[in-house]
Amino acid sequence: MFRKHDARELPFSGEFDLAVMLCEGAFPLMETDEMNFRILQGAANALKPGGKLIFTTLNGLFPLFHSVKDFLASAKEEGNAEYGNNSFDLMTFRDHSTTTVEDDLGHKKELQCNERYYVPSEITWLCGSLGFSPVDIYGAKLGAFSRSDTLTTEDFEMLVIAEKKKP
């Protein structure tokens, strides 16, 4: 059964063994850190003890060594969204940009985006504060996730696998 809910206000309590949010599936796309936290909190509440949360997020180490704007321009392929007006704020670790997408009929839509990059220590703290242990973090290439990839400054994303503590 498929149900649609706001990721910041999930109505589940201890019902699932697994929660998955890949390709920035809600987290870290919210306008504030508090909204992003509520997404992780909702996932934590939805899981049974021993349940796993698997998600990807933008790697805050990447923009310290690379230009987000240049990376997104180099990743452009026909049929993909176009990114422009990127401005990464080092004080908030947020990238503000304009994303333009075109559907199969040629209709274009422009979105103003505000994405948050996280460093590994923040993710470990956030997950730990929500009752997850262990919290494992791996490197992730766009669309390619593996526990065999060590996180580096070259990874645009990170893969997080966290287990909800048992009582």
Across the chain, mean pLDDT equals 88
How is residue 86 written in tokens? 């990127």
**Which position has the higher pLDDT, 40 or 101?**
40
In a domain, 4, yes or no: no
Kind of pairing between the strands at 47-59 and 16-21: parallel
Is pLDDT at 79 greater than 70 in this prediction? no
Query: CA–CA distance from 141 to each of 5, 54, 99, 156 (Å)?
Result: 28, 15, 20, 7
> Which CATH number covers residue 124?
3.40.50.150
In a domain, 155, yes or no: yes
Separation between Cα atoms, residue 11 and residue 5, nearest integer Å = 8
| Rounded average pLDDT over 89-95 | 92
Count of domains observed in the chain: 1
In a domain, 152, yes or no: yes
Enclosing H/E stretch for 133:
strand 132-141
Which residue segment(s) compose the domain that 136 sits in? 16-164
**Which pTM value belongs to this model?**
0.85
Is pLDDT at 153 greater than 80 in this prediction? yes
In a domain, 10, yes or no: no
Is pLDDT at 140 greater than 70 in this prediction? yes
Highest mean pLDDT among 108-117, 131-140, 143-152: 131-140
Q: Please tell me whether the peptide bond between 134 and the residue prior to it is cis, using omega within 30 degrees of 0.
A: yes
